[in-house]
Amino acid sequence: MGRKFVIVGLGLIGGSMALALKGFEDYEIIGVARRQATVDYANSHGVGDKATLDLASILPEADVTMLCMDPDGIVAFLKEHRDHFKPGSLVTDVCGVKTAIMKGAEVLPEGVDFIGCHPMAGTEFSGVEHAFLEMFQGSHLILTPRKDSTREHVALMEALAEHIGCRDVVKTTPERHDQILAYTSQMMHVIAVSVCDDPELFACKGYEGSSFRGCTRVAALDAKLWTQLFSLNTPALTACLDELIGHLQSYREVIAAGDRQALLRKLTVSSDRKRQVDLPGPDLLN
**243 vs 237: CA distance, rounded Å:** 10
The verdict on 66 and 147 lying in the same domain is yes
The answer on 141 and 123 residing in a single domain is: yes
Sheet holding 27-32, edge to edge: 50-52, 27-32, 3-8, 64-67, 90-93, 113-119, 140-145, 168-171
Residue 282 lies in a domain: no
Q: Are 57 and 136 contained in the same domain?
A: yes
CB atoms under 10 Å from CB of 252, counted, come to 10
Q: Are residues 168 and 189 in the same domain?
A: no
Tens digit of each residue's pLDDT (9 = 90 or more) over 158-178:
999 999 999 999 999 999 999
Distances (CA, A) of 147 to 28, 98, 115, 144: 28, 15, 10, 9
The string of pLDDT tens digits covering residues 171-216 is 999 999 999 999 999 999 999 999 999 999 999 999 999 999 999 9
Residues 221, 151 share a domain: no
pLDDT tens by residue, 86-108: 999 999 999 999 999 999 999 99
Q: Is residue 285 part of a domain?
A: no
Return d(Cα 77, Cα 135) in angstroms, integer.
25
Residues 16 and 129 in one domain: yes
* Domain carrying residue 21: 3-172
Among candidate residues 139, 172, 205, the one where a domain is terminated: 172
Q: Can you tell me whether residue 64 is helix, strand or coil?
A: strand
Distances (CA, A) of 232 to 83, 101, 148: 26, 10, 25
Residue 1: is its pLDDT beyond 80?
no
Query: At which of 120, 145, 172 does a domain end?
Result: 172
Beta bridge partners of 3: 27
Contact between 57 and 32 (Cβ < 8 Å): no
CATH (domain of 109) = 3.40.50.720
- At residue 218 the predicted structure's pLDDT band, cuts being 50, 70 and 90, is very high
Same domain, 162 and 190: no
Tell whether 167 and 189 lie within a shared domain: no
Residue 87, in any domain of the structure: yes
Is 283 within a domain?
A: no
**Whether residues 89 and 36 fall in one domain:** yes
CATH number at residue 186: 1.10.3660.10
* Number of independent structural domains in the chain: 2
Domain match, 83 and 114 both:
yes
* pLDDT mean across residues, the chain: 95
Same domain, 161 and 222: no
For residue 92, the cross-strand partners are 66, 115
State whether 141 and 198 are in the same domain.
no
pLDDT, tens digit, 9 for 90 and up, residues 106-160? 999 999 999 999 999 987 778 999 999 999 999 999 999 999 999 999 999 999 9
